[in-house]
Chain A
């Protein structure tokens, strides 16, 4: 199948690959997907005292579209508050990357990863999830 230029760009030059310290109270970690389904995303965010996301990192096992979706959201997350981060919709990810219908689940997974990371952070910080 043919990939869009944007998917290829993120796939070949993925942004913000890596890990943040899981034990850091300012860091939220979300891991979604399963090896059985052929994709696993791990997304991490670190918020500052002001509640704004300063850093975001990912690692993804999956197809090119899954890697591109997670790379893209790390770019979008930086500089947002958690509430603003929750506004990121899978449809926006799919549109930005021009994902074909069979790859829409990659964008859904990326949205799930954002939610999972924020849930983790809020639980750590004792706030209602």
Chain B
């Protein structure tokens, strides 16, 4: 059996849950892992070797903020030595020119810088930190190096109307790629959903503008747009299919098929401290659980699209229907799609805008939004 499992291609290394930012849509779990339980440099180095041996090509260093690890330079060096392509997915805080030089020297392949908006007050409000100006400085420093550069704008109702200004930042950056990644509703974003979900009108305007931007930036910057799942007609093939392409290692060593997987009750995750990555990938219960098609219900079970989207996202099914084996309810064919439509109606019928205009009794306050900020773990 195990030899029929295809190799993983990407390792998401959640190096720490510590982060100087407190983004209201953070994809980390509500229960954050403490510094004292984080994996050592040596264990991570072994994980990188095992990942490369299992077929992994790319390591995405993320967190929390990966730069919060004091051994980040050494971690990059050891992942490169193992033969992996190394991306750093970062807020740019805390980073100075000397440290950046060390990261590049250690073999960093690709720098992905996140932005919470184009305007300082929006970005700082969303991240719960004064961070925007520093990010712009980091961008200037990174441009001096010949490494991959991606800008990642996380977009939602409060900043999607700043798209034009975001494009100005993109054009001045020389980045090879920009992602306009809509917030998806898990973890902290699920808790703050009513204030983050854009209106259909906002989304249409954004898509329209990005079509033109693609022509303007052709040959210079590739644009990737990620639609909010709730507005999609069909679900995404989440993480390229459960246990098919990607594995994620948490700060204290648990191996997950995706970052949200712990929301599914009863799944047991194994730890890199006890078993090799290949064994966990091939044999562990959590990876086997939704890898094939035997768990599917109708309409997925007999659907032509099942080899394309694998029934969508298991965690989304869990969060919205309390059944992890249901068809992802964002699918227009899903029996539970009316739940998603009701959520969208609530957002769109009230004509909710950034600051909340109508006298609608939803949770937007007219002056200052009450966010549920993600804290920093001990």
Same complex: no
Interface residues of B, Cβ cutoff 8 Å to A: none
